[in-house]
Chains A and B, each alone.
Chain A
Amino acid sequence: MIKVIFVSADGSRRSVEIDEGLTAREAALFNNVPGIDGDCGGVCACATCHVHVDHAWINQVGLPEEGGMEDDLIQFAEGATETSRLACQIPMIPALDGLVLHLPKLQH
């Protein structure tokens, strides 16, 4: 199991666990973390699982490929920053155990 910590906009932290090989989107959805919808089913097509990767983790997680679909979608998400990612595009690997993700203020 890999641990992910979701920090909501009001600062409250929620630690969840998810099987290796799934994504950060599923880590949120399977544990009813509010603020992540993932309407498209996790195929990088809707940007309703937008998260801000904690600065301490952005190097391990990496940035979206420039000009790729994720990059194209994030530009339309409200409040997108340089550490914005779509949770469905973050596969949970052992190196990301303890990953900290910040939820946007509003996803709806």
Chain B
Amino acid sequence: MATVAAQETVQYKSVDSIPLGEINVANPHLFQNDTVGEYFARLRREDPVHYCAESRFGPYWSVTKFNDIMAVDTNHKVFSSEAKLGGIAVQDMHSVEGALELEMFIAMDQPKHDQQRKAVSPVVAPSNLLLLEPTIRERAGAILDSLPVGEEIDWVKLVSVELTTMTLATIFDFPWDERAKLTRWSDVTTASPETGIVESFEQRRAELIECAMYFKGLWDERINKPGGNDLISMMAQSPATRDMPFLEFLGNLLLLIVGGNDTTRNSISGGVLALNQNPGEYQKLRENPALVASMVPEIIRWQTPLTHMRRTALADAEIGGKAIKKGDKVVMWYLSGNRDESVIERADEFIIDRKNPRHHLSFGFGIHRCMGNRLAELQLRIIWEEILKRYRLVEVVGEPERLLSNLVRGITRLPVKLHAL
């Protein structure tokens, strides 16, 4: 482990001095220090479908250009998400001893994926979101009203985490006073001991079992109470999900918790950072608050809160001229595809009034496309509309801190100061 860490640390010094074959963009340190973009830029230029023969995640292919990623993502019959083959991240699922072998529909192929997704998707369907909007807006307003003006505060903790947790508690109809548990379980789900979030995989296992037991209690309360339009009632009452085995029950819950939490949280923080790095864009927004509509998808592209999704080839295939063998691990780097100049004009710039802002990879494409994408956009739209009503400027006053993860592109701390209108 020490050698791996040493290699990984050496690697981020100068991207051009590294032989192409030794580039390992899955090194989580490159995300924590936010230098991975230079690596992706080089791969897109010199070797867009790149083979990394050796890494602590084993050998894997990196797909770095927009259209190649789209081709993999929409070919679910050849590129599998199945957990037993390794699942959906460069780090194989079920590879850690002592960890729970969770099952979730994001890491399933057809037909089971389709049945389970259909059972839970109504909770984030447009008609249900319409019902949620006033509640989310009221809560977003209350969060913003509680913040002190002119003092240094941590935007991540006080706003991004708060809003996404409240929204999640709303869609689960989770006991309100205990909603901090959701944040914790979300963090724990994607954590390894090196992040410091948990001390060991045993601790992670214990906390996730506690999570499962808690939800089991809510499930038992609701299974015989028809009519609830919260996620737990829906899962408890749908024939497709009612009799799920324990690890599948837990897996799908955690999928929805992480899916609805980590991602939007980091887009809320990422948007504040992006506007501060691009004061001209912030000025445009102040002058024309209607730009929130096109800014929201631009923030999601810019942040790319999930850096990648991984697939496993079920048959020999070709991507961008490279021969992929059956069984190979294929990583679609959404973060890289979202900076691909051949598809997105001025891809390295944050532009809140882009002509075609929704054409980005952050939600993935194909049958596994993010189920909660409209809820994510709704929360971002509401928080920015409410910010603009209250504050002239959310000023970043210190360096952001980033998460040590090659999957969740996370901002863990963002010191800001609020300026009144």
| Residues of chain B with a CB closer than 8 A to A39's CB | 358-359, 363
Contact of B365 among A37, A45, A75, A76 (CB under 8 A): A45
Binds B, one of A15-23, A87-95, A100-108: A100-108
B367 to A, closest residue via Cβ: A72
Inside 8 A of A43's CB, which chain B residues have their CB? 70, 74
Indicate which residue in B74, B114, B130, B377 contacts A69 across the interface (CB closer than 8 Å). B74
Nearest CB of chain A from residue B372's CB, rounded to whole Å? 12
Number of CB contacts from chain A to chain B under 8 A: 53
- In the bound complex, residues from chain B placing their C-beta under 8 Å from that of A76 are 114, 117-118, 121, 367, 371
Give every chain B residue within 8 A of A1 (Cβ-Cβ). Answer: none
CB distance from A97 to the nearest CB of B (A): 28
Residues B73 and A75 in contact, CB atoms below 8 Å apart? no
Q: How far is the CA of A105 from the CA of B126 in the complex (A)?
A: 9
Q: A107: which B residues are within 8 A, CB to CB?
A: 126
B301 to chain A, nearest CB (A): 11
- The reply to whether A106 and B369 form a contact with Cβ atoms under 8 Å apart is no
Q: Mark A28-49, 1 if CB is under 8 A from B, else 0.
A: 0000000001011101111110
Give a binary string over B62-73; 1 marks a CB under 8 Å from any A CB, 0 the rest.
000000001001
Does B127 have its Cβ within 8 Å of any Cβ on chain A? yes
A25 to B87 CA separation, bound complex (whole angstroms): 34
Total residues of chain B contacting the partner, CB 8 A: 25
In chain B, residues 51-77, which have Cβ atoms closer than 8 Å to a Cβ of chain A?
Answer: 70, 73-74, 76
B214 shortest CB reach to chain A, Å: 29
A96 proximal to B (CB < 8 A) = no
- Quick check: B358 and A37 within 8 Å, CB to CB? yes
Provided the pairs A46-B365, A76-B117, A76-B121 are in contact, do residues A105 and B74 lie with their beta carbons within 8 angstroms?
no
Across the interface, which residues of B come within 8 angstroms of A73, CB to CB? 366-367
Interface 1/0s, chain A 74-92, versus B by CB < 8 A?
Answer: 0110100000000000000
Q: List residues of chain B with CB within 8 A of the CB of A105.
A: 126-127
Per-position binary interface string of chain B over residues 363-400, scored 1 when its CB falls under 8 Å from any chain A CB and 0 otherwise: 10111010100100100000000000000000000000
0/1 string, B117-151, CB within 8 A of A gives 1? 11001100111011000000000000000000000
Cα(A47)–Cα(B373), bound, Å? 12
CA gap between A46 and B373 in the complex, in Å = 11
Q: Decide if B195 is an interface residue (CB 8 Å cutoff).
A: no
Interface residue tally for chain A (C-beta within 8 Å): 20
Residue of B nearest to A45 (CB): B365
Chain A, interface SS category: loop
For A72, give its contact among B70, B114, B126, B127 (CB under 8 Å): B114
Assuming A40-B70, A44-B74, A45-B74, is B130 touching A75 (CB within 8 A)? Answer: no
Residues of B within 8 A of A45 (CB): 70, 73-74, 365-366, 369
Chain A residues with CB below 8 A from B130, complex form: 106
Q: Identify A40's interface contact among B118, B359, B367, CB under 8 A.
A: B359
Residues of chain A lying within 8 A (CB to CB) of residue B371: 76
* CB–CB B365/A40 < 8 A: yes
Most B C-beta atoms less than 10 A away, residue of A40, A43, A44, A48: A40
B277: CB under 8 A from chain A?
no
User: Of the candidates A69, A75, A106, which one forms a contact with B127 in the assembled complex, judged by CB atoms under 8 Å apart?
Assistant: A106
**A105 CA / B130 CA spacing, docked (Å):** 12
Q: Is the CB of A69 within 8 A of B358?
A: no
Which of chain B's residues have a CB closer than 8 A to the CB of A78?
121-122, 125-127
- A34 CA to B115 CA, complexed, in Å: 30
Does B238 count as interface, using CB distance less than 8 angstroms?
no
Task: List chain B residues, Cβ under 8 A from A108.
Answer: 126, 129, 374, 377
B window 237-261: CB within 8 A of A? none
* Complex contacts, A48 vs chain B, CB 8 Å: 358
B110 adjacent to chain A (CB < 8 Å): yes
CA distance in complex: A105, B70 (Å): 28
Residues of A within 8 A of B122 (CB): 78
Provide the residues of chain A in CB contact with B114, threshold 8 Å: 72, 75-76
Q: Are B117 and A72 in contact (CB under 8 A)?
A: no
In the bound assembly, the distance between CA atoms of A72 and B365 in angstroms comes to 12
Rounded to whole angstroms, the CA-CA distance of A107 and B365 in the bound complex is: 16
Question: Per-residue CB proximity of B39-51 to A under 8 Å, as 1/0?
Answer: 0000000000000
Residues of A within 8 A of B (CB): 37, 39-41, 43-48, 69, 72-73, 75-76, 78, 105-108
* 6 pairs, A vs B, C-beta closer than 8 Å: A43-B74, A45-B74, A72-B76, A73-B367, A78-B121, A106-B130
Apart from A44-B74, A105-B126: 8 A-B pairs, beta carbons within 8 A: A39-B363, A40-B70, A47-B369, A69-B366, A72-B114, A76-B118, A78-B126, A107-B126
Closest 4 CB pairs between A and B? A106-B126, A45-B365, A78-B125, A39-B358
